[in-house]
Structure formats: structure tokens, C-alpha cells
Amino acid sequence: MGGIDQLPAITGGVTRRVRRTRLVLPAVLATGLLGLAGCSTEEVGALKRLGMPVAASDRAVPIHNLWIDTWIAAGLVGFFVWGLILWAVVAYRKRTDNDALPRQNRYNLPMEVLYTLAPFIIIGVLFYYTISVQNTVLAKTPQPAHTINVNGQKWSWTFNYKEAGNPAVGNDVWEAGTIQKTPDLYLPVGETVHFNLSSPDVIHSFWVPAFAFKMDVVPGRANNFELTPTKEGVFRGKCAELCGTYHSAMLFNVHVVSPNEYNAYLKRLADAGHIGEAKGAANAYPEGGQR
């Protein structure tokens, strides 16, 4: 009987908690909105891109669109599922102590067909758009303006600029990095660049986050891609494959500059004696050995 006598007190406690929740929830939402209102322009832009960096190449745009559209699709599916859950909670809640349980079914054929077909439809749609974007990103032009052979070696990068036919340069030139020296990759804004990727030792991965693109660098396999830089600036590049002991040193800086600055930089490499093609480790280290 003592337990029955305590029921009003328990009910009163629950009621107070519900009231507190109704007061706290709007306050939390209001605080969140104020926080968003205080965000800088850069932070708001990052939120609109859902965390993706600012696009700096023509191949980044379709990838960004696919990324955002995928999150929108995932959000719609999530809201649909949450709506079904809330509807079931409200429609079948127990209103009085005398309410009987809803009718229990061993199976529901229409529901099971929906649960089976819906994931296949969602996957099929995402697969179609993924392949479409992949074909766009990997498309190549008959005559790219520039060709750069990229060698990923233990533990840095070598960039070979194939510019012997460029009157403003007149030679093939190269730039090689070391564990101590991060190399620079120069690219002309608005001009198509063809990249050939190779490795003399282990698997690496060429990645520039601002380009929204990366590709593996595999020994004995010729991988290649093209893109056109669309935004001047300095961007970070790195190896996206855990390639070994000094993986953390496999960084490079990407300088997207005007065509005139691009040619001037290559002329400086030629004047410094970096003429011809470097295959990686032999030119990356002055003593000719690997570390």
C-alpha cells in the first residue's frame, strides 16, 4: 500500500521533469542558432560545403556536388525513418491502463518487400551517380597543355615537368624533395595538366585535398589523370597511403600561379641545373642513396 500512496509524488516528479525539458529544449536550440549566427564567413562556407575544402580544380566541383547530394539523400532517408518511428510511438502508445497491445503479426509482406527493395534502389541510384562523376573526373583531353611525371619515392616526391616543347622554358626540368626538404609543385591556373604517376619502391598515394582528388602511385603500374587548376594560391599535398617509416614526411606544397609565373619558376629550375628527368631516389638525395 505504501507504494500506491507514493504514486502521486512520482507522477508529480515526472511532470516537473517534462516541464523542465520543455523549457531546456528551446533554450538549447536558441543557443545553437546564436552560435551559428556568430560564425565567420569562412565557417559558414565550410558548413555549406559539409567540411570539404574550397574547390581549387575543375575536378573538385562534381565531387563536391556528389558529396553534398549524398548527404542530402542520407538526411531524407533518416528523416523518413525517424518519422516512421515517431508515428509508431504516437499512434500505438498506451493511453489507458486498459489498452490492449496492438495486434501482433508474425510477418508483414508489403513491409518486408519495402525493406528489401528500398536499400537496393538507394544503392542503385548512388552507384549510378558515383560512376557518372567518376567518368567525369577521369576524363582526359587529346592535347593537355602540360605534362608532369610524378615519382613517389621513399620518402618524398619528385616532379618532372615535360616542357621541352614550351618555348618559354625549352627544357624538361625537375624538382625533388627529401625527408628534410618539402618539395614544391607549380601549376598554371586555368591550363590543363596531365599527371603520370610512378613509384620506384612502395605504394604511395598522390593527394591534394583542395583538388578533391587522389590516386595511388603503384610500382610497375602507370596511373595517370588530368585536371585544370581554377584557383590561385598555395595548397597542401600529401601521401594518403601508409607507405612506411617516414610516411609523415611525404608532403608537398602546390603553388597554383599564373602561366607567366609558372614558366619563370621552371626557368629557375633549368638555371639551377635541374634539366632532364629525375626518377626519384637517385636525384632526391645528394649522396645518391635512400634513407
Q: What is the CATH number for 168?
A: 2.60.40.420
130 shares its domain with 150: no
Provide the pLDDT confidence category of residue 25 given band limits of 50, 70 and 90: low
Say which residue, 14 or 281, is predicted with more confidence: 281
Quote the pLDDT of residue 103.
79
C-alpha cell at 60: 573538385
Residues 260 and 197 in one domain: yes
Distance separating the N- and C-terminal Cα atoms of the chain: 82
Residues 7 and 71 in one domain: no
pLDDT over 90 (residue 280)? no
185 and 150 within one domain:
yes
C-alpha cell at 124: 542503385
pTM: 0.74
Same domain, residue pair 192 and 134 = no
* Model pLDDT for residues 208-230, shown as the tens digit of each residue: 999 988 999 999 998 999 999 99
Sorting pLDDT into bands at 50, 70 and 90, what band is 104? confident
Classify residue 103: in a domain, yes or no: no
Residues 202 and 126 in one domain: no
Together in a domain, 129 and 152: no
**203 part of a folded domain:** yes
Are both 162 and 277 inside the same structural domain? yes
Instruction: Identify the pLDDT of residue 19.
Output: 52
17 and 74 within one domain: no
Rounded-to-integer distance, Cα 8 and Cα 5, Å: 7
Q: Give yes or no: residues 279 and 151 share one domain.
A: yes
Give the residue, 168 or 100, on which the prediction is more confident.
168
Q: How many domains does the chain have?
A: 3
- CB within 8 A of 267, min separation 6: which ones? 168, 169
Question: Is 44 part of any domain?
Answer: no
Residue 104 belongs to some domain of the structure: no
Mean pLDDT for the stretch of residues 144-170:
93
pLDDT score at 9: 46
pLDDT in tens, 183-193: 999 999 999 99
Q: For the chain, what's the residue count?
A: 291
Give the chain's mean pLDDT: 83
Last residue of a domain, one of 122, 139, 156: 139
Q: Looking at the domain assignment, is residue 280 inside a domain? A: yes
- Is residue 100 situated within a structural domain? no
Domain that holds residue 178: 146-284
Same-domain pairing of 214 and 128 = no
Residues 169 and 267 in one domain: yes
Q: Does some domain include residue 160?
A: yes
In a domain, 289, yes or no: no
Q: In this structure, are residues 156 and 286 in contact, taking their beta carbons and an 8 Å threshold?
A: no
